[in-house]
Amino acid sequence: MPKQYLFNLGLNQHNLGGNHKIEGVSINIGATKGRGSSTRIFNYCRERSSNPSLCIDEFITISASPTPSCPPINISTVATFNGTSWVLNADTTVLACQTFTVDVLDTLIIPNGLTITNNGTINNNGTITNDGTFTNNGTITNNGKINNNGTINNNIGATLTNNKNVNNYGTIANNGTITNNNTIFLYSFINYNIITNTGSFINNGEFSNSGGTFGNSGGTITNNGLFFNKGGTLNNTSGIFINNSSLAIVNNSGAIITNSGGLFTNNGTVSNTAQFRNGGSTCPAGTINGTNGTSTITPIAPTTAC
């Protein structure tokens, strides 16, 4: 912002003896040198002068306003400690310039009816329990535990990376990118209820759809690890499911995998002891096994020329 100059007018009209003040006028400084014009160039003087010039006194230099710094944010500024956990006080937004961290021994609770919106960065090293709404437009890295009983919205352009444990008892709507990396903790990402994916869901660790519903509509699921469908339903509707794992997709008893109008690309192994319903395309088919008398693969060899 350029410097601005303010001045006290204190102008006297010369042709009236220098005692009649000019009031209620606008003066454009520095336009012409013509006498008798309110747009003439003025001389700078500190007292009345006999010179037929008007004076402007006491210029004030105003420095450019400093750029506001990013306000700090931490768990104590947005939540209240109840003796065991930190409870979010009100709807909260993490700004694009901010990094919000939940420390190892801390638990943050998002109550029912409240929303935390992340436009910046959230690093969870402790526990986040969401009973309300958790909306991500930025970056979330989970090195602790996320228990979702409410709604998680991972929006377009946002990333949620799980390096430890996520338990979903509510709804996860993914329009961005979710990556599951943990290979140490068994079932590091567990879905007990509903996941809808129109973005990218990448499993590099262990994922379990335990009695839940995982809907892939127009999105992409990429499995590079262990993908368990334990009594759950996986619907690939007009989406893409890519299995690159020789460790297998395990479709356990009571579970259903339905490929309806989607593309199932199997570069690994599907171990099926339940139902694999193919109404779409498999290219390539890889190995899809029915391992006992109760398993169903429809059609028996679901393949489509690549």
Domain ranges of the chain: 4-62, 75-298
> At which residue do the structure tokens 């509707």 appear?
237
**pLDDT tier for residue 196 given thresholds of 50, 70 and 90:** very high
- pTM for the whole structure: 0.73
At 21-66, the pLDDT tens digits run: 545 544 444 444 444 444 444 455 555 556 645 555 555 566 666 7
E strand intervals along 111-217: 115-118, 121-124, 127-130, 133-136, 139-142, 145-148, 151-154, 159-162, 165-168, 171-174, 177-180, 189-191, 194-197, 200-203, 206-210, 213-217
At 83-110, the pLDDT tens digits run: 999 999 999 999 999 999 999 999 999 9
User: Whats the size of the chain, residue-wise?
Assistant: 306
Other residues' Cβ atoms within 10 Å of the Cβ of residue 226? 20
Q: What is the mean pLDDT of residues 147-164?
A: 98
Please indicate whether residue 127 or residue 67 has the higher confidence score (pLDDT).
127
* Spatial distance between the Cα atoms of 226 and 248, rounded to a whole number of angstroms: 6
Q: Is the per-residue pLDDT at 78 higher than 80?
A: yes
Q: What is the mean pLDDT of residues 6-12?
A: 46
Please indicate whether residue 193 or residue 5 has the higher confidence score (pLDDT).
193
Tell me, letter by letter, the H, E, C secondary structure of 36-58: CCCCECCEECCCCCCCCCCEEEE
What's the token pair of residue 194? Answer: 């509903």
Q: What is the mean pLDDT of residues 232-259?
A: 80
**pLDDT tier for residue 259 given thresholds of 50, 70 and 90:** confident
- Highest mean pLDDT range out of 101-115, 176-190, 233-247? 101-115
Under 8 Å between Cβ of 170 and 195: no
